[in-house]
Chain A
Amino acid sequence: MTDEEILGKAYDTSLMKRLLKYLRPYKWHVVLGIVLSIVVSSMEAVRPYFTKIAVDENIANGDHEGLLFTALAFLGVLVFRGLIQYFNAYLTQWIGQKTIFDLRMQVFEHLQNLGLKFYDKNPIGRLITRVTNDIEVLNEMFSSGIVMVFSDVFTIIGILYFMFSMNWKLALISLSVLPLLFYGTFLFRKKAREAYREVRIQIARINTFMQEHITGMMVDQVFNREAKSYNQFDNINAAHRDANIKSIFYYALFYPGVDLIGAIAIGLIIWYAGVEAIGGTVTIGTVMAFLQFNEMFWRPIRDLSEKYNIMQTAMASSERLFKLLDDRTMIDDPVAPVPLNAVRGDIEFRNVWFAYNPGPTDAETEWILKNISFTIKAGETAAFVGHTGAGKTTIISLLGRFYDVQKGEILIDGVNIKDIRQKDLRKHISVVLQDVFLFSGDIASNINLGNEAISFEAVQRAARTVGANGFIEQLSNTYHAEVKERGSTLSVGQKQLISFARALAFNPAILILDEATSNVDTETELLIQSAIHSLLEGRTSIVIAHRLSTIQNADKIIVMHKGEIRETGTHQELLAHGGIYYKLYQLQYKEQETGSRPVVQIGLRV
């Protein structure tokens, strides 16, 4: 069952308790809102009473002045009520908005703290729905919902009071249809609930499909899958339509049904008035007031079933939200963190075992990293090579503590990274991620990520270091040129350069380059290498690359194979060793070296 399928009861005590906590800062506002609602409702109930007085006392006695007085009093009540109603409507909205603002920020902050493991599993579209849609739904409950339920209940109570005090028999008669109403409503709810759930599921499917196929439209087109995707969508869309049509059916029955029950009540009042009239206990005014009461009585009841829907949606939404807030897929900071102000840059992995999805026992676990140990001394450049999927990216994710290791430990300057606050740890590390991500905005903000401590000069310097200044300065607004969603109007290499410049601009003690120049030409790459050479002086760096020319100067090359370290050494040592590295090297160069190129022959013989 996906989260979208959660239906929620209309009322769930534990959820409600938790929701009400959010109202606590505004509790006096809520109290005021409820008091005002009661005032408004009681004035609502007074209206037929005026009619009764006008008919039975003024009109019946031909009392002109009395009638005028009654009419004016009625008018006064109306105006007063209008004012309070206005104030109250605003007040309740205010409460709702304030509350969901708090809640939204809480959810967003929580999302920022969740670990990558969480993001590996949860589609972004769904998370966005939490921050926006689900919270929006709660607004309705917090504002109109809670306060208005009180108001409706009080209206009903008020009307009941007047009805019974005027004529309790007539009151009982007109209420005799209630069981019918309750039963009808009960049936309706059961059906409408199912239909509603179906609609929700289909909406979620429509959104996910649209989102994915709009972002991947180019793939759809180039593989001419348009017709297939269209059919796929047609199915979802039709299911959505049918679910809605089903729910229309129930509503089409329900509303006329409620009206009919109301009409039966009117019929009963008229009939019974006749019966009672013989005994002389019923006046015309009473009958008229009752007819109006009946009319007024029906509205809040109808409203209540509307409120029921609001509550039900709100409960379902809050259940999803609380589930998200309760998700602790995050990496906790140590209770007593070791401060990490300056970093030398010693890195050590000690017997590290890691799996993204650990099994129930060690034996059943598909280890991604197996017993990894290595050290990188401060100021060194270390390179990781190995077949794709060997676990290189995983190693650097662990170093930044984006995931926690299952066994073994990782040390920076001799301190276990679990004893350091993540913020402090990452502050000293810049990673150029293999998957480049640019934000919409402009070039400069993509390099400094909105960090004001990084001056515009520093941004330019970083761009120059990676040789990105060339193309940036050719753009119409240079550093303030617009970057579209994910940088869609830049070439892939250009995006990579910007992401590289970003890493440099943050001026880290440890620089990590994960295939940072895989889409960049060799010329530019070499330029970068010589440009950052002085920059790297005294800093530790880790480089992952498949193009061996990129890494040949590393102080230490670590060769990974299927989650294990197979070889370690310098370029020369590894070639001499004649293992995996040598094979990779040979593959990359041997054929260039065959034929007439003497260079190649020599290279091969190393």
Chain B
Amino acid sequence: MKSLLRLRPYLARYKRTLLLGLLTVVASNLFTVAQPTFVGHAVDSLKRGLETNNLEQTDLLFWAGAIVLFNLIAGGFTFLTRQTIIVVSRKIEYDMRNDFLGHIQKLSLSYFQNTPTGDLMAHATNDISAVRNSLGPGIMYPTDTLMTFTMAIAVMLYTDWQLTLLAMIPLPLVSFAVYRLGKLVHQKFEERQEQYSNLTTRAQENLSGIRVVKAYVREAHEIGLFRVMSFDYLKKNLVLARVQSIMWPLMFLLVGFSLVITLYVGGLRVINHNLTIGQLTAFFGYLVMLIWPMIAFGWVINILQQGAASMGRLAKILDTEPEIRDTATTDHAISHVRGEIEFRNVHFTHKGANRESLTGIDLTVPAGTTLAIVGYTGAGKSTLVNMMSRMYDVTSGELCIDGRNVKEIPLQALRSNIGYVPQETFLFSDTISENIGYGTDNGTDEHVQEAAEISRIAHDVSDFPKGYATMLGERGITLSGGQKQRTSIARAVIRTPKILILDDALSAVDTYTEEEILKRLRTIMKGRTSIIISHRISTVKDADQIIVLNEGRIVERGSHDELVDLGGIYAELHRKQLLEEELEQL
């Protein structure tokens, strides 16, 4: 339960409202507790009237009016309670959800690579809801219970302490049973919940990969898998139902014992004239009034436990220190970069990987020049460029931009000067123009069109019936592979970045279009730094500097001609990309 203490800052924000809320709980209880006494008085005066044949109508009317009036007042306070405490719980939910997003926005790429999206979704929705759920009732009911309990018991003891004690015997059992059963229910509930999230994840995987499933006729297999998981979920639900179903009948039974005792013992006492019939009626009223707090008591403890468990899970995320962020050494005076990049003996190992992905990288890219990177699959090219925008931080060594360690440059300043086209295109399910304009703060339609022109997507867009307003599907499906890539290039270009990074960003584009794009890029990137990763010689040959990566090391570097003459990996690559008949002519 300790994890709930983390909520203090949130609660503090609304402490006045909460205090007011607590006062209304007390007030509404005061007015509620009085009511059974009134009923008792009414019954007694009715009895007296019947026995003496001299009924005081006004007396009855008085009590009836008092009941209605008190209920009205109590209701008013209950209304206020909900309007304060429950409303605050919604406000806190809102604050927490914002904070949650704000926090994960700061977490690094490797965190997301290693955490399933579904899990984060579950935390953002279910866990925050569970915490909220524990807040409203968690504050309201303990107060409520305590109030009702003390007041009702006080009145009952005052009326007839012996009967009270006897009638009370089963009641602690109620709380105990709710608490113990609740614990069991909670445990079974968590098991069920876990299976539910497995089921959700399964559905998510299946639907995201539906194209593969269909292409390989795996539907039956997928259905089989899903059936097994669904069935397991069914079984877990039934186990939960078994324990949950005990709860209410048991509760009613225990409360029923109380009623039976009251009826019998109370009845005897009425016969013996130790108690009036009206008092007995009031007694029943109070007992009924106590049922709910008794149940609520056990229940609240459970809700609080669930809230605490959820808060614990959230805390784990909120306590994950962003690995990549501005620190004390950050020099906030820096707002621009020129674009000189220098790697000094950089080593890097991916989180969870068993070997280095980059080893002893020494590299200088003068501002305004073009660097091309080639190398085998998995050589570390993407990893290398991802360090420039600090998606990863070096494991050892140093990466400098404009001669300053990247860690000294504010992230905001660094990244806003970088235009990055990732190897795998990610587009949002929004319009094409929103997707392109995404790269900038003040993208007018002209800017968007200009960028689209440079990346050669403009022509395709003009063929679409809705032009730039065309909505894309999730991740950009409904565009062809090359169209997606070019949209992604436009998104980077519109930033007019000091450093432009193309990570194999032309792989899905034909050579003609590629050449057109490169030609335009050369113009706009004049005086700016470009980093190009490609497997095509035609793409990289004009770079000022070409490096060849192999198993995380730079094994060759130089210009196209130098490397071809060197006769190493690059020259071999070059030779292999020539066509056969050319080779025959050699």
Contact A388 B510 (CB under 8 A): yes
Contact A393 B481 (CB under 8 A): yes
| Chain B residue, CB-CB nearest to A508 | B216
| B252: contacting residue among A85, A121, A484, CB under 8 A | A85
Q: Which positions 17-73 of chain A face chain B at CB distance < 8 Å?
A: 47, 50-51, 54-55, 58-59, 62, 64, 67-68, 70-71
Distance between Cα atoms of A214 and B511 in the complex (Å):
34
Distance between Cα atoms of A388 and B509 in the complex (Å):
6
| A74: contacting residue among B260, B422, B482, CB under 8 A | B260
Known contacts: A93-B245, A476-B354. The answer to whether A62 contacts B483 by CB under 8 A is no
B42 at the interface (CB under 8 A from A): yes
| B214: contacting residue among A207, A217, A248, A426, CB under 8 A | A426
B574 at the interface (CB under 8 A from A): yes
Distance between Cα atoms of A49 and B263 in the complex (Å):
12
Cβ contacts under 8 Å, B542 to chain A: 591
| Chain B residue, CB-CB nearest to A602 | B585
| B94: contacting residue among A55, A82, A241, A451, CB under 8 A | A241
Contact B49 A277 (CB under 8 A): yes
Indicate with 1 or 0, residue by residue over B39-64, a CB within 8 angstroms of chain A CB atoms: 10011001101100001010011011
Contact A274 B49 (CB under 8 A): yes
A222 at the interface (CB under 8 A from B): yes
In the assembled complex, how far is the CB of residue A504 from the closest CB belonging to chain B, in whole angstroms?
A: 12
Pick out which of these stretches binds chain B: A152-160, A225-233, A336-344: A225-233
A458 at the interface (CB under 8 A from B): no
Known contacts: A54-B263, A108-B226, A216-B428. The answer to whether A387 contacts B513 by CB under 8 A is yes
A221 at the interface (CB under 8 A from B): yes
| A252: contacting residue among B79, B245, B576, CB under 8 A | B79
Known contacts: A207-B121, A485-B117, A584-B511. The answer to whether A549 contacts B578 by CB under 8 A is yes
Contact B578 A599 (CB under 8 A): yes
A358 at the interface (CB under 8 A from B): no
Known contacts: A270-B64, A492-B382. The answer to whether A67 contacts B423 by CB under 8 A is no
Known contacts: A71-B260, A112-B222. The answer to whether A218 contacts B94 by CB under 8 A is no
In the assembled complex, how far is the CB of residue B229 from the closest CB belonging to chain A, in whole angstroms?
A: 10
Contact A210 B90 (CB under 8 A): no
A546 at the interface (CB under 8 A from B): yes
Cβ contacts under 8 Å, A493 to chain B: 377-378
Distance between Cα atoms of A284 and B318 in the complex (Å):
63
Contact B577 A552 (CB under 8 A): no
| B423: contacting residue among A101, A262, A519, A526, CB under 8 A | A519
Cβ contacts under 8 Å, A502 to chain B: 216
| Chain A residue, CB-CB nearest to B484 | A435
Known contacts: A75-B257, A104-B230. The answer to whether A217 contacts B104 by CB under 8 A is yes
Cβ contacts under 8 Å, B230 to chain A: 101, 104-105, 108
Contact B207 A128 (CB under 8 A): yes
| Chain B residue, CB-CB nearest to A85 | B249
Known contacts: A82-B252, A274-B49. The answer to whether A116 contacts B535 by CB under 8 A is no
Of the four ranges (under 10, 10 to 19, 20 to 34, 35 or more), the interface on chain A belongs to 35 or more
B196 at the interface (CB under 8 A from A): yes
| Chain B residue, CB-CB nearest to A234 | B98
A16 at the interface (CB under 8 A from B): no
| Chain A residue, CB-CB nearest to B565 | A596
Pick out which of these stretches binds chain A: B303-311, B328-336, B408-416, B445-453: B408-416
B238 at the interface (CB under 8 A from A): yes
Contact A484 B377 (CB under 8 A): no
Contact B576 A82 (CB under 8 A): no
A455 at the interface (CB under 8 A from B): no
Q: Which of A252, A440, A475 has the most CB of B within 10 A?
A: A252
Q: Which of B215, B245, B267, B577 has the most CB of A within 10 A?
A: B215
B343 at the interface (CB under 8 A from A): no
Pick out which of these stretches binds chain B: A288-296, A305-313, A318-326, A371-379: A288-296
Known contacts: A124-B474, A284-B43, A450-B225. The answer to whether A111 contacts B579 by CB under 8 A is no
Contact A521 B376 (CB under 8 A): yes
Cβ contacts under 8 Å, B74 to chain A: 256, 259
Contact A552 B579 (CB under 8 A): yes
Known contacts: A215-B117, A241-B91, A599-B578. The answer to whether A450 contacts B215 by CB under 8 A is no
Distance between Cα atoms of A104 and B195 in the complex (Å):
15
Cβ contacts under 8 Å, B211 to chain A: 116, 119, 402, 433, 435, 437
A389 at the interface (CB under 8 A from B): yes
Contact A589 B374 (CB under 8 A): no
| Chain B residue, CB-CB nearest to A549 | B577
Cβ contacts under 8 Å, B416 to chain A: 224
Contact B486 A388 (CB under 8 A): yes
Q: Which of A124, A474, A486 has the most CB of B within 10 A?
A: A124
A15 at the interface (CB under 8 A from B): no
Indicate with 1 or 0, residue by residue over B565-586, a CB within 8 angstroms of chain A CB atoms: 0000100111011111111011
| B509: contacting residue among A253, A488, A546, CB under 8 A | A546
Contact A494 B377 (CB under 8 A): yes
| Chain B residue, CB-CB nearest to A208 | B429
Contact B98 A217 (CB under 8 A): no
Cβ contacts under 8 Å, B212 to chain A: 433, 437, 439, 449
In the assembled complex, how far is the CB of residue A445 from the closest CB belonging to chain B, in whole angstroms?
A: 11
B150 at the interface (CB under 8 A from A): no
In the assembled complex, how far is the CB of residue B399 from the closest CB belonging to chain A, in whole angstroms?
A: 16
Known contacts: A109-B223, A522-B576. The answer to whether A263 contacts B68 by CB under 8 A is yes
B250 at the interface (CB under 8 A from A): yes
A191 at the interface (CB under 8 A from B): no
Contact A212 B428 (CB under 8 A): yes
Q: Which positions 205-219 of chain B face chain A at CB distance < 8 Å?
A: 205-219
Cβ contacts under 8 Å, A523 to chain B: 376, 569, 572-573, 576
User: Can you name 28 A-B pairs with beta carbons within 8 Å?
Assistant: A55-B280, A67-B271, A68-B264, A82-B250, A97-B234, A116-B210, A123-B429, A210-B101, A210-B124, A213-B101, A215-B117, A218-B422, A240-B94, A255-B82, A260-B75, A273-B46, A274-B60, A440-B201, A449-B212, A449-B221, A451-B216, A492-B382, A492-B424, A493-B377, A546-B511, A547-B535, A587-B511, A592-B578
List the 3 shortest-distance A-B pairs measured between CB atoms, nearest first: A388-B482, A256-B75, A493-B377
Known: A71-B267, A389-B480. 19 other contacts (CB 8 A): A97-B238, A108-B223, A113-B219, A119-B210, A132-B200, A211-B121, A218-B112, A234-B98, A237-B94, A240-B94, A248-B82, A256-B74, A257-B75, A366-B464, A515-B508, A519-B507, A546-B507, A546-B511, A592-B537
